Structure formats: structure tokens, C-alpha cells
Amino acid sequence: MTIREPQQERSRATHQRLLEATIECLADRGWSGTTVGVVAQRAGVSRGAIQHHFPTREDLITSALEFMFDHRMNEVRIAAEGLPFGPRRVESVVVRLVDYFTGVFFKAALQVWTAAAADAALRERVLPLELKFGRKIHQVAIELLDADDEDPTTHRLVQATLDLARGLGLADVLTDDSRRRSEIVKTWAAHLSTALSTVDEPEVANNF
């Protein structure tokens, strides 16, 4: 038992190191540059070790995306504990959502989505992940905004926020777009805060 536990711990550590190295390679080198050999070298393991954990390159890459997405969502939830309440909360939430789409994970995922557009077999594996990611981040946004997703207007506003964040992430891929992005985030957050407040207001009967 005392022998197996260190072995299992080392196996888990290697597993996670491979996933993290894969995301870094995707962000730095793109889809074509993220080979099993390159990931092995970056993670400091043998090719055989990778194949022990992930039989194929596609297994490695899709597992890395899922792992990193779940990790990032947990980070967002933890960070939410420090978010302010009141009018400033909406802007803080929007900033965090945009940060997610301008981070390393998004750049890595974008490489895979692009490759999947031209590869039917890869697309079949990636599409369920994209749908899962979309549902999960929408749910997290609703939680952070403390909004009512049952309301159609609120649902569309949150989805528009995520679409905006994704677009800003794309604009940041080739050049540093932080200055313009900051102004857009402030403008949209102010609009979103007003719109959500209007949705939350109870209807007043017209007695006239």
C-alpha cells in the first residue's frame, strides 16, 4: 500500500503535467506544432509515458482542453468570492469573462476548433466539448451575475455578453488589444447593468 500510493501520486502528477504542457504547446505552437514528441519534451516525460496515459494525440488534446476548462471555471468561481456587490459587480463579472476568452486556454482551444473545421473526425470529437463549454460558462455567468436565466431577455443578454467576450478574445490573438478592449468592456457593462436592472423591476399595473 505504501509503495502503490507514491506510484499513483506520480502517475497523477505526470497526467496533469501532460495536460498542462499540451495547452501551452497549443497556445505557443498551434495545432500542427503540438505533436506527441513536442508535448513529451515540454512535460519532461517519454513518448511511452504519454501513450500510457493517452493512446492517441486526439485523446491527449481533447482531455487537455476539458481539464483546463474545468480548472479555469473553478478559478472563476473562487475569484467570484472577492467580487464587489452593487453597481460595480456587473463590470467585474464582465471583466472576468473577457479575461477567460483572452487567456491561454482560449488561444489553445481556438487552435483545435480551427483544425476541427477542416477535419470531420476531429470535429466529431470536439463539437460535444464546445457545446459543454458553452453551457457551462453560460451557467457560471448567470451565477456570478445572480441573474434569472428563465427570463428570455436575461438569457439573451448573458449570451450576448459571452459572444462579445469571444469576439474580443479573437481580436487579441494577433495583437495586444487591451486598451480598446477595456473601453468596450466598460461600455457594455454599463449597458448590461441597466438592462438587467430593468428586467428585475417588477411590473407595475397601469390603473389609468
Q: What confidence score (pLDDT) does residue 186 get? A: 95
**Domains held by the chain: number:** 1
Range of the domain at 179: 57-200
Q: What confidence score (pLDDT) does residue 117 get? A: 92
What is the chain written as a DSSP string?
-TTHHHHHHHHHHHHHHHHHHHHHHHHHHHHHH--HHHHHHHHT--HHHHHHH-SSHHHHHHHHHHHHHHHHHHHHHHHHTTPPPSHHHHHHHHHHHHHHHTSHHHHHHHHHHHHHHT-HHHHHHHHHHHHHHHHHHHHHHHHHHT--TTSHHHHHHHHHHHHHHHHHHHHTTTS--HHHHHHHHHHHHHHHHHHHHHHHSPP-----
Task: Kindly state whether residue 110 falls inside one of the protein's structural domains.
Answer: yes
Q: What are the Cα distances from residue 36, in Å, to 18, 94, 110? A: 10, 36, 19
CA-nearest of 156, 145, 160, 165 to 95 is 165
Task: Kindly state whether residue 42 falls inside one of the protein's structural domains.
Answer: no
Task: Kindly state whether residue 118 falls inside one of the protein's structural domains.
Answer: yes
Model pTM? 0.81
pLDDT tens digits in sequence order for the chain, 208 residues long? 455 557 778 888 888 899 999 999 998 999 999 999 999 999 998 888 888 889 999 999 999 999 888 888 888 788 777 788 877 899 999 998 998 888 888 889 999 999 999 999 999 999 999 999 999 999 999 999 989 999 999 999 999 999 999 999 998 887 887 889 999 999 999 999 999 988 765 544 444 3
Residue with cell 453597481: 87
Task: Kindly state whether residue 67 falls inside one of the protein's structural domains.
Answer: yes
Q: What confidence score (pLDDT) does residue 63 get? A: 92
Task: Kindly state whether residue 173 falls inside one of the protein's structural domains.
Answer: yes
Task: Kindly state whether residue 133 falls inside one of the protein's structural domains.
Answer: yes
Grid cell listed for 128? 460535444
Q: What confidence score (pLDDT) does residue 8 get? A: 79
Task: Kindly state whether residue 189 falls inside one of the protein's structural domains.
Answer: yes
Task: Kindly state whether residue 147 falls inside one of the protein's structural domains.
Answer: yes
Q: What confidence score (pLDDT) does residue 4 get? A: 56
Q: What confidence score (pLDDT) does residue 204 get? A: 44
Q: What confidence score (pLDDT) does residue 207 get? A: 44
